[in-house]
Amino acid sequence: MRIVSLVPSLTEAVAVSLPGALVGATDWCDRPAGLEVTRVGGTKNPRVERIVALAPDLVVANEEENRAADLDALRAAGLDVLVTEVRDVPQAFRELDRVLAACGAGARPRWLDEAENAWSSLPAPTERTSAVVPVWRRPWMVLGRDTFAGDVLARLGVDHLHAGHAERYPRIPVEELRTAAPDVVVLPDEPYRFTADDGPEAFPGLRCALVSGRHLTWYGPSLAEAPRVLTETLRPRARRR
């Protein structure tokens, strides 16, 4: 099989599970480290002609990460395109099974069993924490309804305040986010790269937690360690017990 991946988390999943199968990936696909494949542009602006020239057996994509027009262009060029949809943790595991099977995996990789076990054995949170979760600034955008990252947080005892919003990634003025007075402001390093110097200063007096976007938003090998890593960052009191 010759696979092109247009999603960083799927790139990591395929590369780890099927070494040598991946022939192309986006410029943003930085896992696993040292991956040597043809780069085909960004997730939102892939170079269709370069992907076609690679003659892949399958292109894997995501309905949220990639634009429908680009996927239609790949299909029009005669390529098979598998599009994932992930809204929660159980769906992530189903989609990973589907992707890896379509890519030619003869058996379920160990990391996927370990990841599913890490989530299925997760103890029920004994307390809940309220949060707002910006994913962009200029303008400020936050997690809204029906998102994979929101489900990840909820399973860890973190309830983001815009889970019931009509939009999945609503634009909310930063003044309104501050006024909501959440227990914690969760600042991931993707898609916007929040850092200690870029983000927390907008929320004086509120606890801010800088988290790995790979652990919060990716569905792949990182799922195995995501519960532990995120819990240690978001719920430090649980870590000290």
Instruction: Sketch the domain layout of the chain as residue ranges.
Output: 3-108, 129-240
| Residue 35: Cβ-neighbour burial (10 angstroms; 0-12, 13-18, 19+) | middle
DSSP symbol at 161: T
CATH number, span 129-240: 3.40.50.1980
- 55: tokens are 């003659």
Q: With residue 23 as reference, give the H or E element that holds it.
A: strand 22-25
Global pTM? 0.93
Place of tokens 């983001």: 160
Same topology, domains 3-108 and 129-240? Answer is yes
CATH for 3-108 (3.40.720.10, 3.30.1360.230, 3.10.310.10, 3.40.50.1980): 3.40.50.1980
Q: Residue 241: what pLDDT?
A: 37
44-61 burial by CB neighbour count: b if 16+ within 10 A, else e?
eebbbeebbebebebbbb
From first to last of its 241 residues, the chain has per-residue pLDDT tens of 999 999 999 999 999 999 999 999 999 999 999 999 999 999 999 999 999 999 999 999 999 999 999 999 999 999 999 999 999 999 999 999 999 999 999 999 999 999 999 999 999 999 999 999 999 999 999 999 999 999 999 999 999 999 999 999 999 999 999 999 999 999 999 999 999 999 999 999 999 999 999 999 999 999 999 999 999 999 765 444 3
Between the alpha carbon of residue 237 and those of residues 121, 128, 129, 240, the distances in Å are 20, 12, 12, 5
What was the pLDDT predicted at 240? 40
Distance CA(176)–CA(182), nearest Å, equals 11
Alpha carbon of residue 74 to chain centroid: 23
- Side chain identity at 149, as an amino acid letter? A
What is the rounded CA–CA span in Å between residue 75 and residue 73? 5
Cα-Cα-Cα-Cα dihedral sign, residues 197, 199, 204, 205: negative
pLDDT value of residue 11: 98
